[in-house]
Amino acid sequence: MKVPSWFWLLTYAMLAVEMAGGILTILGWRTFNRLQRTVGVWLGVSGLFTIASILTARLLHNSQPASNLSHAASLAIGLMALSEAYGARRARFLFITAGISIAVLSAVLLVTAERLDEYSKYSAPVEAMALAAGAGITIVHRSTAARRDLRGDRGFLTAIAFFLYSMASAFLTTVAQLWMREYPRSVLTYYGVRHTIVIGAFLVMVMTLKRPAALLRLSNS
């Protein structure tokens, strides 16, 4: 089935936001704190995998190899970013340890229980659920820590962005596996809705890279 132009437009829009975040991070690396740097690295790495997915889709008519390889990296860096968003040293250690452990598990599942060129059965849902859990915990904590202005709290906004991303991605491969053969257009529509939500999440992340530090004094308290 031919992929409609609106789907490619959404994909390229998502890529543009990812690369914008990566470029902003490179330009502002010296002045950014650890949270900003980690979020920027996550966006940049995500953008590189999006480029790889586009190339494999165009050349090989299958974007799954690049997509499947992205899950472990996204999970590890994402939980590192959420550890910085949470803000407590003990929580930072637990987040990073969990991120590395689950990322290794995800990579092992990809090698042993899945095929690189097929829709992910385990590593993609594991990534989404782990990021959703980390983001949810961080949202609750930051809601308590930033009592006056959640809109000015970088940690809270980062957690919201990751929660949106993970919820939009949680059932992506499951829907594709169940319905792609019988209802390909419906699956593409689902992917389009997911891409739209993810673009919004990425824009929130980029916004945290640009907001004045004076408004973000609670972000690492």
DSSP string, 184-216: HHHHHHHHHHHHHHHHHHHHHHHHHHHS-GGGG
Q: Is residue 176 part of a domain?
A: yes
Q: How many CA atoms lie within 13 A of 181 on its CB side?
A: 3
SS3 content of the chain, % helix, strand, coil (to 5): 80, 0, 20
Please tell me what DSSP assigns to residue 61: S
User: Helices then strands (H, E): number in the chain?
Assistant: 8, 0
Place of tokens 């097929």: 118
The CATH number covering residue 16 comes to: 1.20.1070
pLDDT at residue 221, rounded to an integer:
42
How far is residue 3 CA from its own chain's centroid?
24
Q: Which domain holds residue 118?
A: 5-213
Q: Tell me if 218 is assigned to some domain.
A: no
Domains contained in the chain, number: 1
Residue 220 lies in a domain: no
Rg over CA atoms, the chain: 17
219 lies in a domain? no
Cα atoms found within 13 Å of the Cα of residue 197, Cβ hemisphere only:
18
Check residue 218 and give its pLDDT: 41
Residue 100 lies in a domain: yes
pLDDT tens-digit profile, the chain (221 residues): 577 889 899 999 999 999 999 999 999 999 999 999 999 999 999 999 999 999 998 888 888 888 888 888 898 899 999 999 988 777 788 888 888 888 888 888 877 878 877 777 788 888 889 999 999 999 998 888 766 667 778 889 999 999 999 998 888 777 777 777 778 888 888 889 999 999 999 999 999 887 544 344 444 44
The string over 185-219, giving b where at least 16 C-beta atoms fall within 10 Å of a residue's C-beta and e elsewhere, is: eebbebbbebbeebbebbebbbebbebeeeebebb
The answer as to whether 101 is a domain residue is yes
Cβ atoms of 124 and 105 closer than 8 Å:
no
102 domain residue, yes or no = yes
Amino acid 118: pLDDT: 78
Token pair listed for 83 = 């550890």
| Residue 154, phi-psi category: left (phi > 0), alpha (psi -120 to 50), beta (remainder) | alpha
CA pair distance 87, 95, nearest whole angstrom: 11
Residue 45 lies in a domain: yes
